[in-house]
């Protein structure tokens, strides 16, 4: 074999075998066990477990709060990415590093920190609650926690696209008499729309499965501020393993659908980038 054709890694068959083995051990076998455990239930038992009033209330809170948080992150994540790409200012590197803080910070620490700030006796909450604004121990706290953990997904998805965008097109639009709003809506936004959608889907998917940062600030009141992951934990603590796996399978299904959506959006983004 000539030196130029030598590969650093082993051949395709061996690496593919290791890849499938690793994915099987880490991903497929645990998920298969989850689904198989659910098959021990009859359809009526499964339906009752996943559609009880308390579980349905947790679905509404989990998916509703995740959707609201993802929408907020799309707006403010775009603003943060825009500032980091288009402006230079003292401390820019520090701000850029702070964006990744929710990635590195343990979620429980994030929940405790938010609770210390927003609770009735917290640094911020003590001034808001006398005005009737309660941000902790209710669904508002859930949304705030999900915004905190989801922001980096939007920023880090949009930021590279803004960095690679051709500013000559913006300058040409302005030279032709376009206003700033027209330049943004007609030139900039179409190029970053796929990245924004991808960031939204990733932030939404991340929020659905969040647990650690939410349980401290949500209050965890049944039918009011109880998220679906907490329902699963509660069923496990009550030794209701089949009920826990039934609810987990529902969440697994929606997570899989979101994964397909994210992959489709990323493929669309790459196709648009190649076309441009």
Q: What is the pLDDT of residues 18-58, one digit of tens each?
A: 888 888 888 788 888 888 888 888 889 999 999 999 999 99
Task: For residue 146, give its domain range.
Answer: 42-275
Q: Looking at the structure, do residues 79 and 168 belong to the same domain, yes or no? A: yes
Q: Looking at the structure, do residues 22 and 46 belong to the same domain, yes or no? A: no
Residue at 243 is within a domain: yes
Q: Looking at the structure, do residues 16 and 131 belong to the same domain, yes or no? A: no
Q: Looking at the structure, do residues 55 and 134 belong to the same domain, yes or no? A: yes
Q: Looking at the structure, do residues 190 and 265 belong to the same domain, yes or no? A: yes
Q: What is the pLDDT of residue 68?
A: 96
Q: What is the pLDDT of residue 1?
A: 46
Q: Looking at the structure, do residues 22 and 100 belong to the same domain, yes or no? A: no
Token pair 């910070």 in the structure block, residue = 105
Q: Looking at the structure, do residues 33 and 62 belong to the same domain, yes or no? A: no
Cβ-based neighbours of 70, under 8 Å, separated by 6 or more: 146, 150, 200, 201, 203, 204, 207
Q: Within the chain, which residues score under 50 in pLDDT?
A: 1, 3
């Amino acid at each position: 074999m000539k030196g130029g054709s030598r590969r650093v890694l082993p051949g395709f068959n061996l690496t593919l075998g290791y890849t499938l083995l690793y994915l099987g051990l880490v991903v497929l076998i645990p998920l298969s066990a989850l689904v198989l455990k659910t098959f021990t239930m009859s359809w009526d038992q499964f339906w009752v477990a996943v559609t009880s009033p308390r579980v349905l209330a947790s679905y509404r809170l989990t998916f509703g709060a995740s959707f609201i948080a993802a929408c907020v992150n799309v707006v403010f994540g775009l603003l943060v990415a825009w500032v980091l790409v288009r402006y230079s200012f003292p401390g820019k590197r520090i701000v850029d590093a702070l964006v990744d803080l929710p990635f590195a910070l343990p979620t429980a620490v994030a929940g405790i920190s938010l609770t210390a700030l927003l609770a009735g006796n917290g640094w911020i909450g003590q001034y808001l609650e006398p005005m009737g604004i309660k941000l902790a121990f209710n669904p508002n706290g859930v949304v705030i926690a999900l915004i905190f953990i989801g922001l980096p997904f939007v920023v880090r998805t949009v930021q590279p696209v803004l960095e690679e965008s051709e500013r000559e097109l913006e300058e040409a639009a302005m030279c032709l008499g376009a206003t700033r709003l027209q330049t943004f809506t007609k030139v900039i936004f179409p190029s970053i729309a796929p990245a924004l959608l991808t960031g939204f889907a990733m932030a939404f998917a991340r929020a659905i499965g969040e647990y650690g940062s939410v349980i401290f600030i949500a209050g965890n009141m049944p039918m009011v501020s109880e998220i679906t992951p907490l329902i699963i934990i509660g069923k496990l603590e009550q030794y209701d393993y089949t009920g826990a796996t039934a609810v987990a399978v529902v969440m697994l299904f929606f997570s899989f659908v979101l994964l397909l959506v994210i992959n489709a959006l990323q493929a669309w983004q790459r196709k648009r980038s190649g076309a441009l």
